[in-house]
Amino acid sequence: MSRIGKAPVVIPEGVEVKVDGSLVTVKGKKGELKQVVDKDMIINIEDGQLTITRPTEQKRHKALHGLYRSLIANMVIGVSEGYKKELDLVGVGFRASATGQMLEMAVGFSHPVVFLLPEEVKVEATMEKGKPPRVTLESVDKQLIGQIAARIRSVRKPEPYKGKGIKFAGEVLRRKEGKSAKK
C-alpha cells in the first residue's frame, strides 16, 4: 500500500495544473514544468487538490503510484516557491565566480574548472571575508538542480581528514583521525 500515493497534492493559489491524457503541465509564477505520467494512472483534480489513483494492486502500479504523486508534488512546489541548493568551497585558495550561466571555480587544480549551466538554473557565487566561498543554485526543477549540484560537488568531494573540498551547506562530514605517532 502506497501511503505517499494516497495523500492528495494541494494546489496553492496562482498555480494552474492541466492534465492532457498522460501529460501533466504545471504553471506558476516561477515557471512551467511538464511530466509524462504512466497511462494506467488516473489523475483527478477537485477542490484545489490533485489525487492519483491506481487501477490495480500490482507491484508495478503501487510503485508508480507513489512516484508520480511525489513528482507532481515537487513540480507544484517548484513553480510556486522554487528550489535552492547551496555549496561551500572549503579550502585555502578556493574561489568561485559566476558570469551569466557560467560558473568558474578554482579548487586546487592547476586550472580553473568551468561549468556551463542550463538556462533553467540561476547561479550566484558569493565570497565573504572569513567564510568559505558559496555557490547558490536556484531552479524550479528539483531533479535538475539536484543533479547539477551533485555534478559540481563531484569535482572535488570533501576529504575526511581536513574536510577540504566542495560540500553542501549544512552537510556534516565524518572526520577521520590522521596517523598517530608510534612509540
CATH of the domain at 25: 3.90.930.12
User: Which of 80, 97, 120 lies at the terminal end of a domain, its last residue?
Assistant: 80
- Which structural domain range is residue 107 located in? 83-168
Q: Tens digit of pLDDT for each residue in 132-171? A: 999 999 999 999 999 999 999 999 999 999 989 999 998 8
Looking at the fold, whether 89 and 164 belong to one and the same domain comes out as yes
Give the chain's domain count: 2
Looking at the fold, whether 33 and 74 belong to one and the same domain comes out as yes
Looking at the fold, whether 26 and 46 belong to one and the same domain comes out as yes
Q: What's the pLDDT at 2? A: 56
Q: Which of 55-64, 67-76, 141-150 has the lowest average pLDDT?
A: 55-64
User: Which of 31, 51, 80 lies at the terminal end of a domain, its last residue?
Assistant: 80
Residue 148, H or E segment: helix 142-153
Q: What is the pTM of this model?
A: 0.87
Residues sharing a CB contact under 8 Å with residue 166, sequence separation 6 or more, in sequence order: 87, 88, 89, 90, 105, 107, 152, 153, 155, 156, 157, 158
Cell digits for 86? 547551496
Establish if 181 belongs to a structural domain.
no
Averaged pLDDT of the chain: 92
Looking at the fold, whether 67 and 138 belong to one and the same domain comes out as no
Decide if pLDDT at 1 tops 70.
no
Decide if pLDDT at 182 tops 80.
no
